[in-house]
Amino acid sequence: MYLLWLRVAAILYAAASVAVFPAVLYNRERWRNICVHVGGMGLFFHFVSAVEMLALAHRWMPIHVREVESILGLAVAGLFFLVWWLYDAISLGIFALPATFFLVFIPALGPGGYTFPSQGVQTSWLIAHIAALMLAYVALGFSILASLLYLVQERRLKSKLKPGKATGWLPFDWLPPLDTLERIAHGTLEFGFPCMTVGLIIGAVLVQETPLGASYFLDPRIIAAIVSWIVYVVLLLVRRSAGLRGRRAAYLSGAFMVLMIAVGAVIFFGRVHRVGAP
């Protein structure tokens, strides 16, 4: 039964992870209540699952990788709700709740992991994984491009040259207004985030049938992808909470682009760590 409770907890953590973003980024009280109550229920079922799992194993310390992941997820969720209870710091849930879900998701698939019923199904999941991540990076690219064009348009409008005089900005007369560029940059960024999240979740399922198995987190490419997701969250959070707009937001997006290029190099060129390899 412990696996059933863990799956229920994973579903509740997933719902809380979705609710925490509008609660923090847009300060929506209704989503805040959903996040706290649903996440709290997930913590309860997770605790029941962990106790039953260790009791059935006749020990009180996790040994296997999936057991360690489950207990670690329980510790992260428990610490978050303790901090929330003491300091009302719901914003930490943007990191804590998705991290808990990712830690619980793989153990919730079962001791043997998920097995694809056919090669066609596995290929479909792989296509969905690649498509989701490609959409995320394309959206990120549009956001960065819109931010750079914002800087160009702002400089063009501030040039204050006399009418009829050669400005050198004629190739950029087609640029939309600054407000439109700002909305494009932020909107595409918000669109790309759920795509990247879905891509990582599907990738976590796909990696179960590789030699990495439950040790998928040891692959540097997986680590780099998780780092990309975390940086994505930081960018969204900083832009929203600090109210960054215009030039400062464009500079932040530029710095993010450099970091993502470095992470992308690790993802595509990094050597995969394999369990048992020298």
Say whether 277 sits in a helix, a strand or coil.
coil
Identify the pLDDT of residue 74.
Answer: 95
| Residue in 85, 78, 98 with CA at minimum distance from that of residue 236 | 98
pTM value?
0.77
For the chain, the maximum distance between any two Cα atoms, rounded to a whole number of angstroms, is 86
At 55, the amino acid letter reads A
Listed range (22-26, 44-48, 58-62, 115-119) with the worst mean pLDDT:
115-119
How is residue 50 written in tokens? 């962990």
**Residues 21, 115: Cα–Cα separation, whole Å:** 32
**DSSP-derived secondary structure letter, 91:** G
**Residues 62, 72: Cα–Cα separation, whole Å:** 10
Identify the pLDDT of residue 243.
Answer: 56
Identify the pLDDT of residue 225.
Answer: 75
Number of H helices, E strands in the chain: 8, 0
Question: Does the pLDDT of residue 8 top 80, yes or no?
Answer: yes
The model's confidence at residue 48, banded by pLDDT at 50, 70 and 90, is: very high
The model's confidence at residue 199, banded by pLDDT at 50, 70 and 90, is: confident
Q: Report the phi/psi class of residue 243: left, alpha or beta, with left for phi > 0 and alpha for psi in -120 to 50.
A: left
Question: Does the pLDDT of residue 124 top 80, yes or no?
Answer: yes
Question: Does the pLDDT of residue 277 top 60, yes or no?
Answer: no
